[in-house]
Amino acid sequence: MEKKIRVFLCKPGLDGHDRGVLIVGQALREAGMEVIYSGLKQTNDMLVEAAIQEDVDVLGISILSGAHMALIPRITELLTERGADDILVIAGGVMPPDDAEALVSQHGVDRVFGPGTNTRDIVAYIHEKTGNA
Amino acid sequence: MTETASDLYEGLLNGDRRAAARLISMVENQDRSVRQVLRMLHQHAGRAHVVGLTGSPGAGKSTLACGLTKRYRDAGLAVGIICVDPTSPFTGGALLGDRVRMQELSGDPDVFIRSMGSRGALGGLSMATNDVINILDAFGKDFIIVETVGAGQVEVEIVKYAHTCVVVTMPGAGDEIQAIKAGILEIGDIFVVNKADRDGAHRTLADLEMMIETKPGGDDSAWRPPVIATKALDGEGIEELEDAIAQHADYLRESGLLGLKTEQRMKAELLEILNLKVSQAAARVLDEDEEGRELVRRMTARELDPHSAAEEVMEHLLKREVEKPGT
């Protein structure tokens, strides 16, 4: 059987908005991926442990609360600490360009997809990065 | 990654959660190199009590699994949870959302939760479920809870693999005619009516009690499936469910049925693997062997019927395996 791409989509911190992440989840499912959704209000520790147990290829972090600079660097640190830094990390939500740039250049995020992103671009990016076209 | 299967095996026995997770993925992807690990694992598995949770979508299986796990954790027991959700037959994708109902458990390193897509398998489980049960068993879990795809009439595969099968329903899910249909009623060792504060709960409880009471052949067994009312979200009735599972485990041990169940499970496991191997070998004959292709041609020309063709393929397979041992 072909290997399936597994994606964990998560909502860290105190953020109740999950319309966007669920739309992304549907798009990835339509593209044949196995998408695991965390539900709201996860701590960094909870979601890193879940990503490891689920052995995902991709961790998708959705934050619309403005806390991305507080949360995301700690998440990628935890992934490294637990030997799971081979997981592709993508982020989405409302993040100013400078923050997005810093997350990618300094904090281990592979790509930030801002508002207005076409879900096809996310699918294409994951396929490209996981070598599974 | 260049981890070899044997590194992962060592990791698993040493409690490395990443190794367990990796092995499960290899099993799901039918990676051949995992077979040697499964072979070595077999002797380490067999300690865990496997609880199956099945029932209609939205009945509260995940929430019950969460409540039950919290009680086991309070008693210091390690728990593995396998949640199977349907894979789309059209795109092959799946949205696995059972973790959303189990948030209280995430972050606890002694609870291992794995979400799985059914990946085309029928019967409410995925092909890999049994191997995953074995992996979590060898990983040292005391209880393994297997939550099936939510449905409720044919999702009976679980009965082959679980020691205790819990069937979850809720008020208003249909009248007694639904309950009398074949399948789901026959597999329950324990019945749960969840959301028992809703209208019609008494009726559902009474219907189930009646069905169990009047089930033909039910009285030659010493185990009478209890019907338990729960409100999983508030934790009501979970203690009763935990007790009922413990009683059922005792019953299996004392009656000697545990050995019989294990034997049945081994047989089911073997048959499942053989089914896959034989059908794959047969597909190869039809696709690759000249004789196989000829059979299909003769069928297409209406010279040969499918049953006779199948006989010929079986003969061909048996002959070939004898001639070429080890292939």
Asked if residues B127 and B36 have their Cβ atoms less than 8 Å apart, the reply is no
- In whole angstroms, give the CA distance from residue A32 to residue A48: 23
How far is residue B239 from each of residues B65, B79, B197, B249, measured CA to CA in Å? Answer: 12, 16, 17, 15
Q: Is residue A32 part of a domain?
A: yes
Kindly state the tokens that stand for A85. 């830094």
CB contact under 8 A, B106 and A29: no
- Residue to mutate among A29, A43, A78, A80, with most B CBs inside 10 A, is A29
Amino acid at A95: M
**Which pLDDT score, from 0 to 100, does residue B183 have?**
64
Residue B1: per-residue pLDDT? 37
Residue A114 placed within a domain: yes
CA distances, A98 to each of A95, A101, A105, B100, B113 (Å)? 8, 5, 10, 32, 37
Confirm whether A59 is domain-assigned: yes
pLDDT of res. B155: 66
Specify the pTM. 0.87
Neighbours of B303 (CB within 10 A): 10
Which candidate from B30, B94, B107 shows the least CB-CB separation from A29?
A: B94
d(CA A121, CA A107): 22
Report chain B residues whose CB lies below 8 A from the CB of A55: 18, 21-22, 24-25
pLDDT value, residue B30: 84
CA distance A98 to chain B (A): 32
Our count of domains for chain A comes to 1
Test B17 with A53 for CB contact under 8 angstroms.
yes
Residue A72 lies in a domain: yes
Looking at residue A84, which CATH number applies to its domain?
3.40.50.280
Interface contact flag, B21 A29, Cβ < 8 Å: no
Residue B209: which of B222, B195, B190 has the closest Cα?
B190
Set of chain B residues whose Cβ sits within 8 Å of the Cβ of A50: 99, 106, 113
Interface test with B, best of A10, A14, A53, A79 (most B CBs within 10 A): A53
A38 at B interface, C-beta within 8 A: yes
Residue that is written with structure tokens 């089930």 in the block: B215
CB-CB under 8 Å, A35 with B93:
yes
Identify the CATH homologous superfamily for domain B46-255: P-loop containing nucleotide triphosphate hydrolases (3.40.50.300)
Q: What stretch of H or E contains A9?
A: strand A6-10
CA atoms of B85 and B126, how far apart (whole Å): 9
Scanning every residue of chain A, which has its alpha carbon at the shortest distance from the alpha carbon of B127?
A: A1
For each successive 10 residues of chain B (327 residues), what is the average pLDDT?
74 93 91 87 91 88 94 96 87 86 86 88 75 94 91 71 91 61 76 89 86 67 87 93 96 91 88 86 88 92 93 85 52
Q: Cβ separation of B25 and A36 shorter than 8 Å?
A: no
Residue A1 lies in a domain: no
Question: Could you give the CA distance from residue B152 to residue B235 in angstroms, rounded to a whole number?
Answer: 23
Among the partner residues B30, B103, B115, nearest to A36 by beta-carbon distance: B115
Reported as type and span, the H/E element at residue A112 is strand A111-113
Cβ distance of B93 and A31 shorter than 8 Å: yes
Domain ranges for chain B, please list them: 1-44, 46-255, 266-323
Residue A18 lies in domain: 6-129
Provide, as residue numbers in chain A, all residues whose Cβ is less than 8 Å from the Cβ of B21. 52-55
Q: How far is A27 from chain B (nearest CA, A)?
A: 10
pLDDT of residue A104: 93
Q: Which of A3, A9, A93 is nearest to A51 (CA)?
A: A9
Question: Do A29 and B29 make contact, defined as CB atoms within 8 angstroms?
Answer: no
Q: Which residues of chain A have pLDDT under 70?
A: 1-2, 132-133
* SS3 sequence of B252-307: HHHHCHHHHHHHHHHHHHHHHHHHHHHHHHHHHHHHHCHHHHHHHHHHHCCCCCHH
pLDDT in tens, B93-152: 888 888 888 888 888 889 999 999 888 676 667 778 889 999 999 999 999 999 988 765
A39 within some domain? yes
On whether residue A60 sits in a domain, the answer given is yes
Q: Find the CB nearest B93 among A1, A32, A39.
A: A32
What would the two tokens of residue B251 be? 């019953």
Query: Nearest Cα to B316, choosing from B296, B300, B301?
Result: B296
- What ipTM was predicted for this assembly? 0.87
